């Protein structure tokens, strides 16, 4: 049994991470100040092997017990959140990552950074391999998130090369599943909420931009395999099946049996036109590939989250 510290453990991905680590017999310390997460996400994890510490990682922090793995997931992640919290997002990526790497160093723990496909920006290479350096606008509205993650990657690599910390980095591509917030602005919860309420489905632009969507269970399995691998370079984890936003909207209408019509709205600034992971590295290194196709994952999400979880109340 290992002791795993999960920052952002009360968020969407973090709560699934805590749940899976507990299921594998590990002890879990969840560090989360509930900025964008919720106690509801971890309420079902009440057991002696699970602890929640309400800590803001922007401030220096210390945990006084042995730790074997640090999964650093804390950060606002949806555009609605990081546009509302631009400075917080930059501070979590910089100070928060610094403090968490310092903790991993102190405990000689293996450290995993949750980075993002957004480090590739609006990519000029398709699909995106880890060797692509990206095409990011540092001063556009999305820059606070994209550059915070790029800085966090640089910091993580420096702690590895200069300080000898045993680090790893996952570049996460769009992931979905139960416990996404219905009003967090990301495509899948928005479309499912609108479809379940028979409201118009709002697609940005002409809906021709593409995304690749990974079901949360596939992602968590890949992240844990990476954290346990001893590999230090970034690894893409995502589902390479690529869909236009219009195709996604149509599938959401179909799986919910909705009467919604699809309407088109203005494209947000710097919205990437394409997004598809090259997962050769994850396949070769970890023997990982996703197993849950989009239609099946959407059905699971509806079944497990329930209508209430997907429609929710406006924050």
Binding of ligand NAD by 53 (CB under 6 A): no
Place of tokens 């910091």: 155
What letter does residue 90 receive in the DSSP assignment? H
Torsion-angle region of residue 198: left (phi > 0), alpha (psi -120 to 50) or beta?
left
Beta-bridge partners for 202: 263
Binding of ligand NAD by 236 (CB under 6 A): no
Tell whether omega for the bond before 213 is within 30 degrees of 0, i.e. cis: no
Q: Minimum CB separation from ligand NAD for residue 85, in Å?
A: 8
Write down the catalytic residue from 71, 82, 120, 145. Answer: 145
Q: Minimum CB separation from ligand NAD for residue 57, in Å?
A: 4
The encoded tokens of residue 177 equal 């599943």
The residue from 29, 50, 56, 225 that contacts ligand NAD (CB under 6 A) is 56
Residue 176 known to be catalytic: no
Binding of ligand NAD by 305 (CB under 6 A): no
Binding of ligand NAD by 37 (CB under 6 A): yes
Q: What are phi and psi of 5, to 5 degrees?
A: -100, 130
Binding of ligand NAD by 74 (CB under 6 A): yes
Residue number, 28 or 172, with CB nearest to ligand NAD: 172
The encoded tokens of residue 12 equal 């969407």
The residue from 5, 12, 196, 309 that contacts ligand NAD (CB under 6 A) is 12
Q: What is the 3-state secondary structure (H, E, C) of 136-167?
A: CCCCCCCHHHHHHHHHHHHHHHHHHHHHCCCE
Binding of ligand NAD by 212 (CB under 6 A): no
The closest alpha carbon to 68, from 24, 30, 104, 97, belongs to: 104
**Measured CA distances, 153 to 126, 209, 248 (Å):** 22, 27, 31
Binding of ligand NAD by 100 (CB under 6 A): no
Residue number, 113 or 195, with CB nearest to ligand NAD: 113
The residue from 4, 19, 28, 33 that contacts ligand NAD (CB under 6 A) is 33
The residue from 13, 28, 201, 224 that contacts ligand NAD (CB under 6 A) is 13
CA pair distance 195, 295, nearest whole angstrom:
15
The residue from 128, 167, 168, 174 that contacts ligand NAD (CB under 6 A) is 174
Residues, the chain: 315
Number of residues that bind ligand NAD (CB under 6 A): 29
Q: Which residue numbers are catalytic?
A: 145
Question: Which parts of this chain interact with ligand NAD (CB under 6 A)?
Answer: 7-8, 10-14, 32-37, 56-58, 73-77, 81, 92, 96, 114, 116, 172, 174-175
């Amino acid at each position: 049994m290992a002791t795993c510290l999960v920052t952002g453990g009360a968020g969407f991905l973090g709560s699934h991470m805590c749940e899976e680590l507990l299921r594998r017999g590990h002890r879990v310390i969840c560090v989360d100040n509930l900025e964008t997460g919720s106690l509801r996400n971890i309420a079902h994890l009440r057991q002696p092997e699970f602890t929640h510490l309400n800590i803001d990682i922007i401030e220096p922090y210390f945990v006084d017990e042995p730790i074997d793995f640090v999964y650093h997931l804390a950060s606002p992640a949806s555009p609605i959140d990081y546009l509302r919290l631009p400075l917080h997002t930059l501070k979590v990526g910089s100070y928060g990552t610094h403090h968490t790497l310092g903790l991993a160093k102190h405990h000689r723990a293996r450290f995993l950074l949750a980075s993002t496909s957004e480090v590739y920006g609006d990519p000029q290479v398709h699909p995106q391999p880890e060797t692509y350096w990206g095409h990011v606008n540092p001063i556009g509205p999305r820059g606070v998130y994209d550059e915070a993650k790029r800085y966090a990657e640089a910091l993580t690599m420096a702690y590895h090369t200069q300080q000898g910390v045993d680090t790893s980095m996952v570049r996460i591509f769009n992931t979905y599943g139960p416990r996404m917030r219905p009003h967090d602005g990301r495509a899948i919860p928005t479309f499912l909420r609108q479809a379940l309420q028979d409201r118009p489905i709002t697609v940005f632009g002409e809906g021709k931009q593409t995304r690749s969507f990974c079901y949360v269970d596939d992602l968590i399995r890949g992240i844990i395999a990476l954290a346990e691998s001893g590999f230090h370079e970034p690894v893409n984890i995502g589902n390479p099946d690529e869909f236009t936003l219009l195709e996604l909207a149509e599938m959401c209408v179909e799986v919910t049996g909705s009467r919604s019509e699809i309407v088109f709205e203005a494209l947000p600034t710097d919205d990437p036109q394409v997004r598809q992971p090259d997962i050769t590295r994850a396949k070769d290194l970890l023997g990982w590939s996703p197993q849950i196709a989009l239609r099946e994952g959407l059905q699971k999400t509806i079944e497990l989250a329930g209508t209430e979880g997907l429609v929710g109340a406006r924050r």
